[in-house]
Structure 1
Amino acid sequence: MGITAIISTLTVVIGLIISGRALISKTELEKLFFTNEQKIKMYYYKLVGLSGLISILVGDLYILWNITFGTKTGEKANWGFAIALTFVIFICCLISLGNLERVVQNFFIKSHIKFKVNLENIGDVYVLRMLKEDICICSKDPNADYNKNDLESGYILVKLDDLINKSFIKEKHEKSNMSIWEKLLD
């Protein structure tokens, strides 16, 4: 690999890290107005970062274990196996951490945060998510996202311009009840 390939690779990696950090460092209200594309980017950035941290930690612990209890020095440690172990743990974490996070959210987190805004002619509505860059999906029911089979929740499409200069109220709501199968397969 030439010097230009190394510089190009480093530039791409640094750009990805900076753009990912920019997404994660937003406030809760700013994250509410993320488009689906931005939410997916943020999810995978966090997933790859956490998987990388876990896999490097496991590889380091393996080397430390070999040096401490295996009467080996750092030079005689099995570095090839440590690198392979790190790579396998990274792939396994990429596959499993997303599902594990979803199960933990469905079984152990009992409440969610919604932002309420008062709109003229409509009244108080909860901002659920963005449909496009300039249109929000709102509802009078704060649990409308969790009632996937209930199409009568009354979704309201609101232009982002109508929400500017409005005051948002942050409220904590209990999640609606889901069956065991819905919690597992969500």
Structure 2
Amino acid sequence: MSGFLGPLDSGARVPPAQQTRIAAFLISAHGALARQFAFTLPVSLDAAWQTELNAQFYRETEIVSLLMRATTWVPDLALGYMVASWETAWLPAPIDEIPDRRLAQAVHLATLAHAVHAGIRPAALLPTEANAQDPFVMALRRIEFESGRLLQAQILFLKGTDLAPHRDAVSAILEQRHASVRKLWRETLANIGIEAS
């Protein structure tokens, strides 16, 4: 196993089979976030943290759109099963410790988004000799850059005063989400011969 994508082709591009798996995983994760942000958005914004939901919805949609266009796709029969397991992992779990349903949904989304943006660093898989002008390489770097920006908003919300009474519950949920996302990401990488550190 290697710690990087490859071996690269003669144009220093990532092999299409690896592109397909990586992009499918990222589209599943960011697509789930986009869908859930869309369903969580209220008709009118009445709390400061709700304005961030709107911005994050559009950012997640942009990531999915970018990956769909930048990836060199090839048929992959294993994706059907894998996507089903990924999609199940993104589903919201009830949070009994937070009685306000809207706030609980926002916590679910913020912890999932935090785990996805902090735990998945796709550009770190690129070898230094990867073609910097390749759309897939540029997309992975762009996603990592955007993830860093989005992470700041999630941290502000999760550490905000609205959640102060639920700090222990939020910390436990965040830990579980990180462990789940890391496990899925490592399994995805292992299936294409990448050893995640």
TM bracket (short chain): under 0.3
Query: RCO higher in 1 or 2 (8 Å CA, sep ≥ 6)?
Result: 2
Provide the TM-score with structure 1 as the length reference. Answer: 0.27
The answer to which structure has the higher helix fraction is: 2
